[in-house]
Amino acid sequence: MKMNWRNMAALALFATATAAAGSASAADLKEVRFGVEASYAPFESKSPSGELQGFDIDVGNAVCAKLKVKCVWVENAFDGLIPALQARKFDAINSDMTITEQRRQAIDFTDPIYTIPNQMIAKKGSGLLPTPASLKGKHVGVLQGTIQETYAKARWAPAGVDVVPYQTQDQIYADLASGRLDASFQDAEAASKGFLKKPQGAGFDFAGPAVSDEKLLGAGVGYGIRKGDKALKDELNQALKALKADGTIDRLAAKYFDVKVVLK
């Protein structure tokens, strides 16, 4: 089908405007609003004075500095982070969220930044292992909306394990310490820094080996982005790539973790 000059001019103008709009969305970036659930040390938690702190917070601030934008932190329950992102309450999820196929159906992700082993904790000498047979009839706490909840409900609950979801990780630790839970399942660094190395965690230890399941537990942590938000995704990926290349993220990780976690 032939086009007259008016059609061609209109299409050219539309293409130019579309390209300009795409570049402007990145160039005009003034701030990044990160959604965070702030009770998951050492990734994100609050200091006694109420300031946000942790590895994800430090990396997020470094990303904003690299992009020369303001970082704004929006607190939200972990299981509500994806709906809140979709509702535009913030621009990206920065809260130790593992990239999984299930989550990819709802949102996009940046490139993976780091990965942490997943491990169960219980009382020393309990003999518990992260297996259906060992945990049958036991009460295991998990944070709502996490990959650990998905895994425990899929692999353990059908065998008679009572998988108990909680709104915050701090509530899990409190019930574990008081004896209302037999075990909790979370990533190993959060368990170590947020509970085992604190007075509250005296008498507890890791129970069994790390749990691996790429389908349910994923293969790395990234920032969650709304579907189609390519300009922001590209900006964040470029900043993360630069911070990995210059060693910034490795240096920040060394402040918090006992093992190498940064994915190149």
Is the CB of residue 60 less than 8 Å from the CB of residue 113?
no
Same topology between domain 28-113+221-256 and domain 118-217 = yes
**Contact between residue 114 and residue 262 where contact means Cβ atoms under 8 Å apart:** yes
| Residue 20 pLDDT greater than 50, yes or no | no
- The phi, psi pair for 258, rounded to 5°, reads -95, -15
pLDDT band at 27 (very low <50, low <70, confident <90, very high): low
pTM surpassing 0.85? no
User: Six-digit token pair at 184?
Assistant: 């909790």
Write the CATH number of the domain with boundaries 118-217. 3.40.190.10
- The per-residue pLDDT for range 168-185, each reduced to its tens digit, is 999 999 999 999 999 999
Q: Residue 260 has what pLDDT?
A: 77
Average pLDDT, the chain: 89
* Cβ(201)–Cβ(158) below 8 Å: no
Level-2 CATH architecture, domain 28-113+221-256: 3-Layer(aba) Sandwich (3.40)
Which whole number is the average pLDDT over 1-22? Answer: 37
Domain boundaries, the chain: 28-113+221-256, 118-217
Q: Are 35 and 77 in contact (CB under 8 A)?
A: no
Give residue 219's pLDDT band: very low, low, confident or very high (50, 70, 90): confident
pLDDT at 254 over 50: yes
Strands of the 31-36 sheet, one edge to the other: 70-75, 31-36, 92-93, 224-225, 108-109
* Dist CA 143 CA 167 (whole Å): 6
